[in-house]
Structure 1
């Protein structure tokens, strides 16, 4: 009976939209795609599959993606499970509009909000004896939990359930007391680390990329794939403040790839997926934003796309930017598209100042920086090629392409170590290896194999740089803890697919060795 209902529904959609996909496409989708992308195609662990979200992926490329998988994502290849006709039917199906799009605005957000603990019920001191700034928040995707880990004793303090499929990395309040999580399906959670208590939750979108917390601790900004919005929340209680529709001057809407806090600028910076623009959004009420060298009162809206609270300062570019890296002063952002086209944008004069050599598919969001011979340099792993690109941040010229065992995902270091740690996460082999790069020699000088045959990824350092923690990215995984100087294993803690761990001090002080 269910097959008849699905087939009838497919036939109706085919007639309504003139699509040529098979009546079995809906069944194929539910069998092979729904677990990750949602039964309603609105997203889950994978992104929403709707025509508006697929504009940069032409149908022939979508057919290739279904058949061969997609690099740097969890999208597997289906060419051994589906024939050419079935793959084409699926591609036709996901390019078919839904009969109606669900609304998700202020009313829906307010109705979803849950207050777990009131501010009055929370103490103003940590309920544990560990250094509150040398804690790690460990995200365990295997069973959707998070662990608070003592960075000195290297022991768990507590473990608690999270929403399904957290994404984009947790972000901390400026004092390190609170941590904010975002899930793929739009849930934003505020957790009080000092009291080991969940404070509030709200669903800020249907399909969400990540969040950022303002450097003054007042606001949380959420980046959505669906709907195409940015959502400002009150960091105190997660009450929604404003929804910003993401559109260009011609009304074309866009998914938001990511949102970042540019602390020295007192602003958020958004990467847009479907229009070649970067948006800067000031949040300091007393700031005097600069537009083309002239000071304006942004209450007047001059040079702004959106007036009032959280005005939008647009930077129109020649190419899309899917990924960012900021210099230490946040005057420049270094960006690249998924196709590997790199450019440097000056945020003060609001324009590109130069192209940059970034072959393959650099993962700038995992880039790091340090000083070499008195000059600032940055380095980024590569999602497609086995190399690390090292760039002089004064001249924006490539210093060296360091060969690695294969394409990686995460690169990490610390101010107190001479090494940078790089994984081989996207390799076809050697995914169980962590490579150690000497930051002065710009050479790989050692390699570690924490658990032979199991994926090793995402190194993070303790507050003082003494320990380096590596994830064994498996359901029966672990945190493997190394002495960062001797590279000897110190301890390992069983974990359920620990996708990432985030040191409070390194994050709130914006360590050059970790992502921001």
Structure 2
């Protein structure tokens, strides 16, 4: 199925936003310095949308600082050495001026965007290849917007195919591993049949989307949008629209959705909200329960325990601060949350809805990349920090920080496997971004620092299903996936790739392996 360009899709699908007719110079500045990441009409792309409704937590003074100095732990570079103060001020005024025609993406737009290229039963139910379907890897190559399917035993490339623009949040699998769902920054959800190596359904959930989640039974898909401010529920079979949830607090204050997660033991989706101090839980029905349909839009919001909540209704959980980055304990009773611009975290009991602990975590903890393992008879979690050169290791019984490991720079990704004695963490944002640390999970010490290729960014480790092999990205246009022996740390193989960002093993993702993100 042919995938048209991002610019062409914007032109076809979105209303034209007005520009400042009296500021041609500002328009030219935006087109030169901002358009590639933030989109033709400020609607977002690799970077977020730049509209007043999406900038509520950022003052104009702070926005000027970001343009001048860049944004920590992001791809936003500083332009202070390129733009004058008056040019930066002009750009800030530009992005905070609302468009004449507010951008919107309605139910009708969602329904009209749906494409199902293969009728039911037209594709075989057996894989076209001999590889173990549960030990496949999907490798997302952001350099040229492709994905590769790797055999997790031989590491041969089975297939390579074009994806939508700027995938984000990691692909999600059905429980049997046959289907994988991708979410793109510009709102597209793609369902891909790994057995037949074909796109089997697509739909556009929004204009600027953060990520997607798939229910543990594989029956439902939820999309988290920055623009419009919504959660969108789909039947996973053909991505049929089920419901749109406008996201706002009880006072009507609208919010972007930072991310949505599946919580299998709870049978629910958990949503992190960017602009209101709430966590939302939406429960899906068990396979034996009837699906209650109440239409697409009007969904009453109730506050109940998860197991008492009627299916597909929203339970609001008030929290003391913004929580837009999450980590969960293994039974999904507790959510560990933090604000991306905050200097700490908190633990919320999802059953009671109460905060049960504060976590003194400076340096923007990247909770979404956290992992857990058993240590001296207790469960610990470990997380890198986006702004500090450190890894924090936390006791998950009393929520105390039992150790802080100094690293060679701020990190982004951390991975391990139940069958491996090691945890790996990169130093993605530091001057030593070409290094990766290997941590002994028994001693809680860094035992090896690898430099796969000097001067090239080393990032995002993923293990095979057995924990025997480790895949690491050289995150460059002319990059590669490097395969290591997970015990000896010996390099075994390099597979050329175009800026491989993430590698996602079917077994680890479908079995919620403790050493990978969920």
TM-score by length of 2: 0.92
2:346–2:358 contact (8 Å) kept in structure 1:
yes
* Alignment counterpart, residue 382 of structure 1, candidates 381, 385, 397: 385
Closer/same/farther in 2, CA of residues 403 and 302 from structure 1, 3 Å limit: closer
Q: Is it true that 1:190 corresponds to 2:191 in the alignment?
A: yes
Aligned partner of 2:20 in structure 1 is 10
What is the Cα deviation at residue 24 of structure 1?
2.1
Q: Report whether the alignment pairs 1:400 with 2:377.
A: no
Give the SS at the match of 2:134.
coil
Per the alignment, do residues 309 and 371 of structure 1 end up closer, same or farther by CA in structure 2, a change over 3 Å counting? closer
Which residue of structure 2 lines up, in the alignment, with residue 40 of structure 1? Answer: 41
Q: Is the 8 A contact 1:322 1:337 kept in 2?
A: yes
Distance between the aligned counterparts of 1:300 and 1:326, measured in 2? 26
What corresponds to 2:13 in structure 1? none
Provide the rounded CA distance (Å) in 1 between the counterparts of 2:166 and 2:52.
Answer: 23
Distance of aligned partners of 1:300 and 1:281 in 2 relative to their CA distance in 1, 3 Å threshold: closer
Deviation beyond 4 Å, 4+ runs, structure 1? 285-288, 299-302
1:9–1:37 CA distance, 2 compared to 1 (3 A): closer
Whole-angstrom CA distance in 2 between matches of 1:465 and 1:497: 24
Aligned to 1:463, the other structure's residue is in SS state coil
Greater alpha carbon shift after TM alignment, 101-110 vs 136-145? 101-110
**5 Å matches for 1:323-334?**
323-334=325-336
CA contact 2:302–2:316 (8 Å) conserved in 1: no
Partners in 2 of 1:309 and 1:390 — Cα distance?
36
- Give me the whole-angstrom Cα distance separating, in 1, the residues matched to 2:120 and 2:418: 36
Instruction: Tell me by how many angstroms 1:383 deviates.
Output: 0.4
Verify the 8 A CA contact 2:302 2:314 in the aligned structure 1: no
Give yes or no for contact 1:456–1:472 (8 Å, CA) kept in 2. yes
> Is 2:428 the counterpart of 1:425?
yes
1:304–1:311 contact (8 Å) kept in structure 2:
no
1:270-319 superposed Cα distances (whole Å, 9 cap, x missing partner): 0000001100000025899xxxxxxxxxx9975369x9751000101110
Task: State which of 388, 409, 412 in structure 1 corresponds to 2:412.
Answer: 409
The alpha-carbon distance between structure 1 residues 231 and 300, as it changes in their structure 2 partners (threshold 3 A), is closer
Cα shift at 1:9 = 5.2
Q: Contact 1:257–1:272 at 8 Å: present in 2 too?
A: yes
Q: Distance in 2 between matches of 1:395 and 1:89?
A: 50
Aligned to 2:207: 206
Note if contact 1:369-1:512 (Cα within 8 Å) is conserved in structure 2.
yes
User: What is the distance in 2 between the residues matched to 1:302 and 1:450?
Assistant: 51
Query: 1:501 is paired with a residue of what secondary structure?
Result: strand
Structure 2, unaligned runs of 5 or more: 1-17, 290-298
Distance 2:257 2:163 in 1: 23
- Asked if structure 2 preserves the Cα contact closer than 8 Å seen for 1:114 and 1:202, the reply is yes
- What is the aligned partner in structure 2 of residue 152 from structure 1? 153
Partner Cα distance (1:503, 1:443) in 2:
27
- SS for the counterpart of 1:499 is strand
Show the counterpart of 1:296: none
Residue range with higher mean Cα deviation, 460-469 or 117-126: 117-126
Residues 76/494 of structure 1: CA separation in 2 closer, same or farther (3 Å cut): same
Question: Could you tell me whether the CA contact under 8 Å between 1:368 and 1:380 is conserved in 2?
Answer: yes
Give the Cα–Cα distance (whole angstroms) in 1 for the partners of residues 254 and 213 of structure 2: 21
Question: What is the rounded CA distance, in whole Å, between the counterparts of 1:403 and 1:183 in structure 2?
Answer: 34
Cα distance in 1 for partners of 2:210, 2:302 equals 30
**Residue 107 of structure 1, CA deviation:** 0.6
Return the alpha-carbon distance in structure 1 between the equivalents of residues 30 and 386 of structure 2. Answer: 28
Structure-1 residue corresponding to 2:124: 123
Report if the CA contact (8 A) 1:301-1:308 is conserved: no
CA distance 1:301–1:336, shift in 2 (3 Å)? closer
- Partner SS for 2:335: strand
Residue in structure 2 matched with residue 279 of structure 1 by the alignment: 280
Deviation at 1:341? 2.3
Report how far residue 340 of structure 1 moved: 2.6
- Corresponding position of 1:29: 30
Residue number in structure 1 paired with 2:488 = 486
Distance (Å, rounded) in 1 between the aligned partners of 2:429 and 2:56: 25
Task: Give per-residue Cα distances to partners, 1:346-396, cap 9 Å, x unaligned.
Answer: 000012111112111110000000010010000000100000000000000
> Deviation per CA, 1:368-427, whole angstroms, max 9, x where unpaired?
000100100000001000000000000000001100000010000001111110101011
TM-superposed deviation, 1:23: 5.0
